[in-house]
Structure 1
Amino acid sequence: MAKKRITLLIGILLLVITLAFMFIPYKTALVFYKENTDQIEAFLPMNTGDHFQIIFKHSIHLTDVIEKYEVTRNHDIKQNEIVYEEFGIGMPSNAQEGEEFVNEDGKYYIKNLENIFPSMNIRNGKTVSEHRLVWGNQAEYRVWFNDYFQPGAWFKLKIEKLTLSQYLKEVKIHE
């Protein structure tokens, strides 16, 4: 009888531990939430200090605009740099105080940005739908937004910790 009781207690303890691991946030990720909801559309595992880029085709001058970001210790998104080829609607024409404006090899760079975002709203292009997500130490991984999202869809991006349950059931972005 005591043996059955110990076996039952061990089984219950293992079940409680397993359930706890399923619902305790543990893995940091760049999370794409559908519009203003808590519905996760996709996520990309990231750690503090990791870098990523969002590249989009400007809808008017049809050239790439590269926005470079970093994950901060506070799980914010820090914009470090913008790279573009044409001045036009929505594009900066110079650097602000503390930033550096560089014209090199036919591209404009605004470097040393210190823009911190707790979250960002982003729309996948509808008319010119060529958004890309790039990540890795040497920006070696690249996916097209259209492989994961509908053209015209919009998202709130945040750096958050996911539970094992979310990690296993949601759409993981991969190369």
Structure 2
Amino acid sequence: MMKHIIRKKLLIIIPLIAFILFFVLVVPFRTALVFYKENTEKIQAYLPINQGDTFQIIWKHSIHLTDVAEKYKVIENHEINQYEIVYEHFGIGMPSNAGEGETFVYEDGKYHIKGIDTVFPAMNIRNGKTVSEHRLVWGESDEHMVEFNDYFEPGAWYTVKVDQLSLWQYLKGVKIHE
């Protein structure tokens, strides 16, 4: 009689534990800016982020050898909105004026194109190879910064998008932090 009761309880408890483990490990629970290796689902690194948060990708122009800052905001539907670009020199690959609805400003020795409204579901980013000085900046007043080379191989490319991560992905991935 006692074995029968224990067996009945185990038949209920084991599937319940399995379901809870499955739910905790597989169901997405945290939004992050995720860097996928090339065009795969292999997570290279991630930065926990929320809708409304901003971040910058700063890279060194390979000819001018000056910083170019591209500013982004996480918007609804896990999309990325580029809203500004800041640079020091005109030339190859750099815009010479603002587009429609944008503002071109010269402040503190740098050119700013503000009011950009380009939305990306994902972006392809290559870590510099010749001049490998890319940086990721984030936080309330851009107080956090890391070097791409601390997380990414020079010359490699990544698909970057805002995604929901499961606890399993979160635990096995490389969290970007200062």
- TM normalised by structure 2 equals 0.94
Alignment of 1:58-77 (within 5 A): 58-77=61-80
Say if 2:14 is the partner of 1:15: no
Distance of 2:48 and 2:61 partners within structure 1:
27
Write the distance in 2 (CA, Å) between the matches of 1:105 and 1:25: 43
Spell out the pairing of 1:11-50 with structure 2 (5 A cutoff): 11-50=14-53
1:141-152 matches, within 5 Å, as 141-152=144-155
Q: Percent identity?
A: 63
Alignment partners' CA distance in 2, 1:20 and 1:86: 51
Tell me the residue number matched to 1:163.
Answer: 166
Matched residue of 2:78: which SS? coil
2-structure distance, mates of 1:8, 1:132:
53
Q: Distance in 1 between matches of 2:38 and 2:6?
A: 54
The Cα shift of 1:14 comes to: 2.2
| C-alpha deviation, 1:4, in angstroms | 4.7
Root-mean-square deviation (Å):
1.1
Q: State TM-score, norm by structure 1.
A: 0.96
> Which of the residues 91, 108, 113 maps onto 1:110?
113
Aligned to 2:90: 87
CA distance in 2: counterparts of 1:107 and 1:97, whole angstroms: 20
Which amino acid is 2:140 matched to? N
The size of the alignment, in residue pairs, is 175
Gaps in structure 1 of 5+ consecutive residues: none
For structure 2, the 5+ residue unaligned runs are none
- One-letter amino acid matched to 1:77: I
Letter of the 2:47 counterpart:
L
Q: Separation in 2 of the partners of 1:92 and 1:119? A: 22
Corresponding position of 1:136: 139
Q: Which has the larger radius of gyration?
A: 2
- Of residues 165-174 and 7-16 in structure 1, the stretch that sits farther from structure 2 once superposed is 7-16
Task: Give the superposition deviation at 1:146.
Answer: 0.2
Tell me the amino acid that sits aligned with residue 83 of structure 1. Answer: V
By how many angstroms is 1:61 displaced?
Answer: 0.2
Aligned to 1:2: 5
Once residues 164 and 36 of structure 1 are traced to their aligned partners in structure 2, the CA distance between those partners, rounded to angstroms, is 22
CA displacement 1:58-107 (0-9 Å, x = unmatched): 00000000000011111011001000000011100000111010011210
The structural deviation recorded for 1:7 is: 4.7
Q: Matches of 1:9 and 1:25 in 2, distance apart?
A: 25
SS at match of 1:74: helix
Q: Distance in 2 between matches of 1:66 and 1:32?
A: 18
